[in-house]
Amino acid sequence: MRVDSRQRLQYRIQSGVFLVLFVALLAVVAWITERYPFTIDMSANERNSLSQESARLVAGIEYPLEVTLFVSPVNDSKPLLEALFERYRLLQPNIEFQSLNPDLHPDLLRTHDIRYDGEVLLEYRGRSEKLSQVDEAAVSSAIQRLLRQGERWLVFLDGHGERSPYREANHDYSLLATKLASKGYSIESLNLTQTSSIPQNTNVLVLASPQVALLPGEIELLREHIDRGGNLLWLADPDQASEGLNLLAEHLTIEFLPGIIVDPNSQLMGLDRADFALVGEYPRHPVTQNLASLSLFPQAQAIEFYGEDSWQQQIFLRSDSRSWNETGELRGEIFNGDHDDESQGPLNIGLTLARSHENDDGEIYNQRVAIVGDADFLSNRYLGNGSNLDIGINLLNWLSHDDQLIAISPRPAPDTRLELSSEKQISIALFFLLLLPLGLVVSGLRIWLKRRKR
């Protein structure tokens, strides 16, 4: 077939148009990938991407969050640190990230008191956080603190044998207080015998199982705190001083059932005692969302709400259907129903109360109260069991109206360490140190002999 000049020109035009369209397609694809990046993390537990909790946290960033990484080029951690913050930036356009060589910016080092190579500065709406040890958990916790609107004051009632946020005894709350302080809470104690009122800036008042009866005037201060719309966390052990607190319970339209919750499931879990209530299934509530592990409540008591229209009540902790409130002695064999005042489970261990309240400025806001029939589950001794810590932090976040910060606990990677038995270690050593070299030597000798015979 003979091709004339006209057909040749058409072929050239077609080739040119195809080339232009192909380049344009590549440009569009490049623009789309830059504008809408998409990655797939196939590592175990997706450790090369942010956890769902961190993703949910950064989704609540409404204003620019400036992240400055002061790291020198010779720092071996520089690529890992930059990759970590790039994951945050890809999930949230409001995050602005830059990496600076500290040797070239001495003025910024002095201004922000940067002392270490690899230190990170996060700035949000006039507030800042510095991190020396940088990982996802530390960064997400710092973002949590920055997202809080102002200070969050947790005031623990003191002076009646309550659990202390400062002491380190097994029954106290020093470990919980340390966790809360790392998340931006300010913690104080308050002795009502030394003051005539509860501070107005108290975000959550914590009443942790007083062992000595409160005075009538102190009970009246607590009732005034509730009446003016204050938030309250009441952790109530069965052995708390009930005198006076009955009036507070009546004010909240709740009552505590007699006895201690007995759960046969605790013995199935290997516990020697039956007075430990295990909770594995959680009612729907913001406090317990995304909880997947058991929580443990030693010597808890059941709670009932008998109010109607004054409060909106929700259960967030409930014992198993096999449990009951044992009112007799916990010795020998115990049975359900051998006393008239015993009730079959499931029993309410934790409930929340909420209602609309109008402050002095005429603004309507949501008042929140939480009552848990156990104070031990947040103590230093039991805080590390199952989801106890998550429940405590989530509960205080809910009471502080920081619902978007609930359940932010980045997951660890499960495969960062290689655990090998001694037999496997010996097998690997024999293979690489003996069998593999010996095989290479034998293979080389065979090749040498075969070539020699030719």
Over residues 264-322, the pLDDT tens digits come to 877 766 677 778 888 888 998 988 887 878 899 999 999 999 887 788 999 999 998 88
Higher per-residue pLDDT: 157 or 362: 157
The half-sphere exposure of 265 on its side-chain side, counting CA atoms within 13 A, is 20
Residue-wise pLDDT tens digits, 191-204: 988 887 888 888 99
Task: Identify the pLDDT of residue 303.
Answer: 93
Residue-wise pLDDT tens digits, 90-118: 888 899 999 999 889 889 888 888 888 98
Residue-wise pLDDT tens digits, 120-129: 999 988 878 8
Answer for the pair 63, 125: CB distance below 8 angstroms, yes or no: yes
Residue-wise pLDDT tens digits, 143-189: 887 887 667 889 999 988 999 999 999 999 999 999 888 777 889 99
Calculate what percentage of the chain has a pLDDT beyond 70: 89
Taking the C-alpha atoms of residue 11 and residue 89, their distance in angstroms, rounded to an integer, is 47
DSSP 333-390: S--TTSSTT--BSP-EEEEEEEEEEE-TTS-EEEEEEEEES-SGGGSTTTTTSTTHHH
Average pLDDT value for residue range 390-396: 90
Whether 45 shows a pLDDT value over 60: the answer reads no
Task: Identify the pLDDT of residue 357.
Answer: 81
Higher per-residue pLDDT: 231 or 421: 231
Q: What 8-state DSSP symbol labels residue 96?
A: E
Taking the C-alpha atoms of residue 87 and residue 363, their distance in angstroms, rounded to an integer, is 39
CB-based contacts of 65, cutoff 8 Å, min separation 6 = 92, 94, 95, 96, 122, 123, 124, 143, 146
Task: Identify the pLDDT of residue 305.
Answer: 92
Band of pLDDT at residue 38, cut at 50, 70 and 90: low
Task: Identify the pLDDT of residue 254.
Answer: 92
Mean pLDDT score across all residues of the chain: 84
Band of pLDDT at residue 411, cut at 50, 70 and 90: low
| Residue of 97, 127, 131, 95 whose CA lies nearest to 113 | 131
Whether 415 shows a pLDDT value over 90: the answer reads no
Taking the C-alpha atoms of residue 216 and residue 244, their distance in angstroms, rounded to an integer, is 7
